[in-house]
Amino acid sequence: MAFNQFPAAASSSGGRIPSGSTAARPASPALGDQYYDGDLGFLLIWDGTKWLPCSAPAAQPTIAVTDVGTGVAYGTVQGSVAFTEGLSGGKAAGFTGIQSSYTTTGTSSTQVVTITGTPGSYAFSGTAYNGFGTSPQALSVSQTLTSIPQAPTIGTAILSGSDVLVSWTLNSNGGKNLSAITVTPYLNGVTAGSTQNASTTSSTSMTFTGLTAGSAYTFKVKTTNANGTSLESSATNSVTIPVSFTVDFLVVAGGGGGGNDYYSGGRASGGGGAGGLRCSVQATGGGGTVQSALTNITLTNYAVTVGAGGTGMGVGGVQTATSGSSSSYSSISTVGGGGGGGHDTGANNAGLSGGSGGAGANSTNGAAGTANEGYKGGDSGTPGAGGGGAGAAGTNTGSSTNGNGGIGISTNISGTSTYYAGGGGGGGSGAWSGSSGSGGNGGGGNGAINALASDGTANTGGGAGGGRNTGSRGGGNGGSGIVILRYPDTRTITIGSGLTGSESAASGGYKRATITAGTGNVSWV
């Protein structure tokens, strides 16, 4: 049978399209040759490599799906569906990608299906079509689809010294491992300074450093995976970065109680030692060097304690005077003054060591002071000796004279030169001594002869005088301590609950806080 293209010149077929069975198709056709296959019922055309049905619906395609991922916002995913035409039907004019209720149609053999949903596995199918109809649906293919990460949920920003601890909760990673968690600082809604990355990609907090003192920041967090970077979280609460400044201080502990003479034959009693004294403005106690001022920061609590004075020596089983209590401010602490020595029911009692040492009585030596806080108490012959002061040791006794308390230290930290931490004077029975000892400058109590001795002055840390009494007590009570803080007048202090104190008006570039009792915290803005 002769075979010709259509239309053809005169031929044995008379110009008609050749036809026959499938087996009778020409073995070596030319491009564009046509043939009607009676077995298939299709008109075929040779495309140069194969016979294609040109009068039949498109054949069932096969599909392959890949994840788009890159740049796809969280909340949607995209799958790229690649179609391969089947060979048993007509040539496809286009394709339709199908995923659940989402479809996309076009002439390209690759269709991108966009799905509103979160990362996960999705099943895809599709069809091919031409002018003669639509193919059967392709076999379903499943593919995991990803996106950029979901924005983190912001937590709180908490001040940590001059840094800020920022916290958050991680949400979906978009189907791919995170590669970075980035924290950005903001001032008034505008990016302020460089971003910083969390230490690991599973972190839920980080300490943000290098911030400008006095500025109020908020922070936002975002995450990154191989597809891109998430939206930023909402902003944290606002945090103001502290400002550092210098604080000078005077810290004086409570003074020691005075000794007592309670003996019918007559004896002596020693004065109480002054509370330990440390100061960053002028001389410190015990001959020590001036202390270094402290560097503080605003919005931070610093602990303060003001020590009480010790109790004077009693009778009837209370054998010693008590020492004063310690005072402190931040890292600076001082030791309470030592109680004075005395005599009770026939027994001698030595003075106690402390910030400044308590004095001896009845031929006992005075107790030691604390280095860089105060001096020792005086040694007793027969009369009572003086308690140690911050500026000098207590005076030893003479043959018939009670010793004086050691002098305190003068400082102008309050704006006026004032003595603090003087030792208490010695006292006792008139049968053994002719005169009582004087308290040292700085609140030291005077000793007494056959009487109740003077207390140390409140809020000086002065030691109490020694005395003699037939009642419950002969020695005086020690003076309570004090804490004075001097700082730039650009700062304002808050004196917390548990403390008694006040802040002065600005003067000479400074303000001053005078704290006279209690335990609590102070802070500045």
Topology of domain 153-240, CATH: Immunoglobulin-like (2.60.40)
User: How many Å apart are CA 56 and CA 130, to the nearest integer?
Assistant: 8
User: How many Å apart are CA 112 and CA 132, to the nearest integer?
Assistant: 25
Q: Tens digit of pLDDT for each residue in 368-392?
A: 999 999 999 999 877 889 999 999 9
User: How many Å apart are CA 243 and CA 262, to the nearest integer?
Assistant: 58
Instruction: Give 201's contacts (C-beta < 8 A, 6+ positions apart).
Output: 177, 178, 179, 180, 181
Give the class (CATH, top level) of 62-145.
Answer: mainly beta
Instruction: Give 59's contacts (C-beta < 8 A, 6+ positions apart).
Output: 85, 86, 87, 88, 89, 90, 92, 128, 135
- Chain region(s) in the chain for CATH 2.60.40.10: 62-145, 153-240
DSSP string, 367-405: PP--TTT-PPPPPPSSSPPPPP-SSSPPPPP-SSBPPPP
First to last CA, the chain: 108
- Strands 467-468 vs 260-262: parallel, antiparallel or unpaired: parallel
Residue 9: its pLDDT value, please? Answer: 43
Using DSSP's 3-state secondary structure scheme, residue 265 falls into coil
What are the residue ranges in the chain where pLDDT is below 50? 1-12
Give the residue among 318, 312, 321, 311 at the shortest CA–CA distance from 345. 318
Q: Looking at the chain, how many residues does it have?
A: 525
DSSP state of 132: T
